[in-house]
């Protein structure tokens, strides 16, 4: 499986302070299922309604990384973003429930479950450049 931009990504500079959320989730440990999950997130296959919904609720950027069967997601938002409120709205948007149900077939969770699959991680270290 080929993954583009394997060694880096361009970080956008927003004209506002941001919040960053990092989450993890395990996929079912099956190479064929993992390849299908990766393909489902490609620009060619990923549903436009899902991309638009993510933006509509106030998410500025979202990245998902993969190592073996472990996913790591980074979500950047404005500082006024309220996670639970936004995801309650997102759940009502077109095709969102259908997408979540499909994705749950790849994830280590109850099939059809849409709650508490991704687990929020705690930051334990950071390194930022000093501003003089």
What are 36's two structure tokens? 């299908």
pLDDT band for 16, please (50, 70, 90 cuts).
confident
Q: What is the pLDDT of residues 30-86, one digit of tens each?
A: 999 999 999 999 999 999 999 999 999 999 999 999 999 999 999 999 999 999 999
What are 11's two structure tokens? 């970080």
18-117: which CATH topology? Alpha-Beta Plaits (3.30.70)
pTM: 0.82
The predicted pLDDT at position 39 comes to 97
Q: What is the pLDDT of residues 75-105, one digit of tens each?
A: 999 999 999 999 999 999 999 999 999 999 9
Domain boundaries, the chain: 18-117
């Amino acid at each position: 499986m080929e993954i583009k931009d394997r060694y880096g990504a361009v970080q956008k500079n927003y004209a506002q302070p941001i919040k960053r959320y990092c989450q993890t989730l395990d996929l079912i440990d099956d190479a064929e299922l993992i390849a299908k999950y990766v393909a489902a997130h490609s620009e060619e296959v990923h549903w436009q309604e899902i991309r638009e919904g993510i933006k509509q609720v106030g998410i500025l950027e979202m990245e998902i990384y993969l190592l073996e069967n472990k996913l790591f997601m980074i979500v950047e938002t404005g500082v006024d973003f309220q996670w639970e409120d936004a995801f309650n709205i997102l759940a009502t948007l077109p095709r969102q429930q259908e997408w979540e149900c499909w994705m749950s077939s790849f994830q280590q969770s109850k099939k059809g479950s849409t709650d508490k699959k991704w687990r929020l991680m705690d930051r334990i270290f950071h390194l930022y450049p000093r501003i003089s």
